[in-house]
Each structure stands twice: as structure tokens, then as C-alpha cells.
Chains A and B, each alone.
Chain A
Amino acid sequence: MAPENGELPSYSVCGCIEHVDDVAGYAPENDIKDLGMLLSILSFMPDFVLQWFVKAMNDSHQKNGGLSDLFRMLDFGIKGIILGTYYSGKTGKNYNGKSPLELIGFSINRIES
């Protein structure tokens, strides 16, 4: 979902997974439990199954009914957690480089009162 790409570090290298609870901690308990179970199962699957799974999520937007509703929901959920942490500006303890947020040139100024 977020490999190394030029100056952008891979998801695992930048260590943003350490902040996953900052995203998942506020979602409904049952949703997170279900998602966690699914990700645990997927972690044991071979690459070709994962590739099929990602393709099924992507293709679900062009389909109606059947499992497509479920795959679209998973697409939202998985993207939400991965992109939410990857572009959060937060990185892991062992990562010393710039965050993906800095590398795409995002910064905002806050003038607080």
C-alpha cells in the first residue's frame, strides 16, 4: 500500500504503525475488532491472495451488490488506517528521516490567539 518510492520511505521503514492507536482508538470497538481479525488472517496469506484482495477492493467501486459493498467498506477502513498514519506527520522512534508529510511539501502555519 505504501512502498519505498524515491524519497518517500516505505510504510514499515518510517514506523508510523507505532501511532495506529491514535487512529483506531476512536473507531467503534466492533469495527476495529473485525478489521483486526481480518488483517491477522491476511498476514498469513501468500502474496497472490493479497494481490487479489487489493484488486477486489479497487474493483469494488465499479460493481454493485454481492461482496462489493463489503470490499468498498474494507477499502475505506484499510486506507483510512494506512493513509491516516502514513501522512500523519508522525514517525517511529527508530526513523530519523523526514516524514512523508514533509516530503510531499505539506506544512501549515498556525497563529494562535
Chain B
Amino acid sequence: MYDFVVVGSGSSGGTVAHNLHEAGAKIVLLEAGKFFRKDTFPKTEMDYSAQLFWGGGLEFDSQARTAFLRAKCVGGTTIVNQCLMDRFDDVAFDDWKQRSGVDFLSVAKMLPFYEKIEAKMKLHTFEKEETKRNAQLFTAACDKLGHKWKYLRRGMSDCKVEEGNDCIGCLGGCFRDSKQSSLVYSVQVAEQKGLEIRAEFEVEKIEHFADHVLIHGFQNKIKQEIKTKKVVIAAGSFGTTQLMLKSGFKAKLPALGKGFCQHPQFMLFGVFDIPVDAHKANFQTVGSDDPNFRKQGFKLENVFAQPISVGMLFRTYGKQHQDIMKKYRYMSCIEVAVRDQPEGGEISIDKKGKLIVTKTLTEQDKRRRDTGLATIKNIFSAQGAKEVVDSPFYFGLHLMGGCSIGVDEQKSVVNPQFQVHGHKNIYIADTSIYPSAPGINPSLTAATLSQKMSEELIKS
């Protein structure tokens, strides 16, 4: 029997597995996706979109308004995100504390855990010399309009941009282990020390007993059963919530599946007379840092994407669509990420256990979106953009909630010790426990909460 089974290998699962293994526990890390390495990640956007994401890259809410980007591979979504590493502020933690009643959710009490997790990864804050035209247009316009902005802090090291490397490629997995995904800073480190990892293992159901947990699943379509003293579920907001629902916990946990939020992201493209080449070199170096935006519930990101993703966002077809795509090199992009209300989102399953995500933008969410989009249009105007192209779609990369942490069993799923209420052998510490949207990139804090949880597990 294992001491621990960890389900999921992203920022949370990777951290827990690494820490528990290092402490000497008998542990296995299960991951539904494949085990890609820096030299085996798919090379093209088409291939990585199909192979690295759940649903072959196409996963939507029940109304098909929003597309979700959720990775299915060892390292989880940290493989396909930008690894922007921001700590949460008082605004985020105060809201969490108020909603959950959990005392340790504060900047001061989380600080030692942030410091420990940050010490495990290589962090870099960009400087002026590393920015390209896309970022320079953004910062010049922000300065002109009086909006505060900042250089971003990213988990990265030795990216060889100065030698011509284009970092947008690492959105399909970093091919030099420079980006600080959980694969790089936790999973592979623990693997070298002997951590057992079972990829392509889909957990179907868990059963809780007084002194152990049974894990039922399939590995490469072969039925498997694993017995463990404790299980840590870290399959992300969708994966963890779906597993809990499929395992029949909804009857005892009324809050299960509630409070889904995602920082819905709306992208606008400005078209210029001379090439911007936003896909070259460091591709995301600056973002908004304006206290007024924070108060108004949104932030702006100076992002971009490869052609298939950009093409998917435009509403047109045929020649009109191609005419926009011909301007790919001349485009700059800014997105607004809304700090959305958890009341508008719910995760459930159908009779076959298939995921159903309901996400309705509340009136407040819409106001925040519209204020953000109007701000972006002003920025493009100040930049001298010749044309602004919008999109009917929005997407979610920061998937949060469904198994909220809290002291009240009626309103939450996980207690302040990260145990599922009434089930002492089941733990959760990934983004599914977030009581609300922080309005800040969630990955670093997911790893930090998992650092805290794993230290408590080791002590006990």
C-alpha cells in the first residue's frame, strides 16, 4: 500500500509529489496525459494544440461561449502557460478569507511558503532591453494615457532569446527546459531521485475508507486499482471536481462544483502600417499594473498567439478572414482578463460522467469586460493603430473553483487542513479550492498552497 497517491502533475501535484517523495514517503504520481520531454514536445501549433490539450484542443462551456485551455500531459497546464509568477495581494487574500473563514489566507501568513516555492524555481523579471515592438507600443501608450504598467516576472532561465530563440514556441512545451513548468522544477527533479510516475493513467473513481483510499482507473485502457493510505487530488479545477462528482461525493458536499471562475480573457488586435512581429523573441514582457484597473476588476496583458489560435478568434470566414490573417505580422494584441464572480460558474457531470461547465457572465463581469475593452481601444488609438479587430470568443486558461476551501461544510468542500470535509484521507490543494477569482495569475499560489499542505502532511 502506498502512503500517498497524487493525482495530477501540474503546479500543485508536482509540488506535493516532489515534497512527499523527498520526505521519504512511498508515493506514486498519476497523470492522465502523456509524458512529453523537451525533445519530444510536438513542434507545430497544430500538433501541440491537438496533442497537449483535453478534448484535442476544443473544450467549451455548455453554451459554447468560451473555450477552455486545459493541458493534458505531465506538468499539466504549466506546460502550455507563460509561467508568469505573481504573488497574490491583500485584495485577493482578504476576499478569500472573508468568503472562507480560513485564517492563514493572508499575505503575511503565506509569505514563508511563497519564499520556499520561489526558491525552487528560476525567476526572471524582464528589463527594458528585452522588450520588442509589441511591448514598446503598449508601454508608450500607457505612459501617454497615465496607466501604470510593469515588467513581468516569469519562471525562465537561459532562454537564448539573444541568440534568436522565439519564446512563443514554448506555448507548446519548452523545447529547452528553460520555462519553469512543474515538469522542470518539481516532477523531473523528483523523478531523478526515484519518484514513481505513471503517465496516461486516468482515474475514474475514488473510494474513501476509514484507514485507506481505493483508486480506480485505467492506464493505457487497462483497468487498474491502487490502494493508498491517503490521496492528494491535484487534477485542476475541472479534473478534481469531475473526479469528486464521479465518485459520488455531491450528496455529502453540497458546495461541490460551485463557484467556478476563470478570469475570462477577451483579446483585441490592433493593426499597424509596419510589422510588429509580436510572435518573435520574448513574447510577453509587460502588463498593466494600475491600481485603478485593480479596483475596477480587470487587468490588461500584452499577449499574442500563433496563427491558428489568432485565426480562431476572428468572426469572419473566407476571403475576409484571409485578408485579416495576411496582416498577422502587423498585429499587436492586448487582452483584458476579468476578475469574474464565482456565482456565475458551476461544474457538473452528465449521466455518463462527462464534464458540463456552466459559465454565465454576471452583470458585474460584463461591466468589467466593457471597461477593459474600452481602455484597450483607447490604448490602440494612442498607439496609432490603423484598425482594431475584435473577437466574439473569449477563453479561460485560469480555471479555478469547484472544491472551495472553507470552514463551513455547507459552503465549501475542503477544510483549512486541505482535507475534504468528513473524509480525512482525501486532500485537495490545486486551483479547485480557490474560493473566488483573485485577478492575478493563479499558478504560483497553487504551488504555494501545495507547499503548505505538503509540509503539514509531512509533519503529521
**Contacts A84-B50, A113-B177; A5 near B322 (Cβ below 8 A):** yes
* B46 with A108: CB separation less than 8 A: no
Asked if residues A61 and B315 are in contact (CB atoms below 8 Å), the reply is yes
- Does B165 count as interface, using CB distance less than 8 angstroms? yes
Interface check A38, CB cutoff 8 A: no
Q: Once the chains bind, are B312 and A79 in contact (CB under 8 Å)?
A: yes
Q: A5-B322, A22-B46, A83-B311 are in contact. Are A109 and B62 (CB under 8 A)?
A: no
* Given known A-B contacts A28-B56, A58-B317, A110-B175, A104 and B62 have beta carbons under 8 A apart: no
Q: Is the C-beta of B303 less than 8 angstroms from some C-beta in chain A?
A: no
Residue of B with least CB distance to A75: B64
Interface residues of A in 68-86 (CB under 8 A from B): 69-70, 72-73, 75-77, 79-80, 83-85
Q: Answer yes or no: A25 CB below 8 A from chain B CBs.
A: yes
Report B-chain residues with C-beta under 8 Å of the C-beta of A112: 38-39, 175-176
| Contact in complex: A69, B166 (CB < 8 Å) | no
CB proximity of A53 to chain B, nearest CB, Å: 11
Task: Give the contacting residue for B46; candidates A54, A61, A85, A105; CB below 8 A.
Answer: A85
Give the distance in Å from the alpha carbon of A23 to the alpha carbon of B5 in the complex: 33
Task: Find chain B residues with CB under 8 A from A103 CB.
Answer: 326
Taken together as a complex, chains A and B put the C-alpha atoms of A113 and B280 apart, in Å, by 19
Instruction: Find out whether the CB atom of B392 lies under 8 angstroms from the CB atom of A80.
Output: no
Given known contacts A111-B165, A111-B176, what 17 new A-B pairs fall within 8 Å (CB)? Answer: A1-B321, A3-B319, A22-B46, A22-B47, A25-B56, A61-B315, A69-B62, A76-B312, A79-B311, A80-B58, A83-B308, A84-B50, A85-B46, A87-B45, A103-B326, A105-B275, A113-B38
CB pairs A–B below 8 angstroms (23 shown): A22-B46, A28-B55, A28-B56, A31-B55, A58-B316, A58-B317, A62-B392, A64-B63, A69-B63, A75-B64, A76-B67, A76-B312, A87-B311, A101-B307, A105-B329, A108-B168, A109-B166, A110-B43, A110-B166, A110-B169, A111-B163, A112-B175, A112-B176
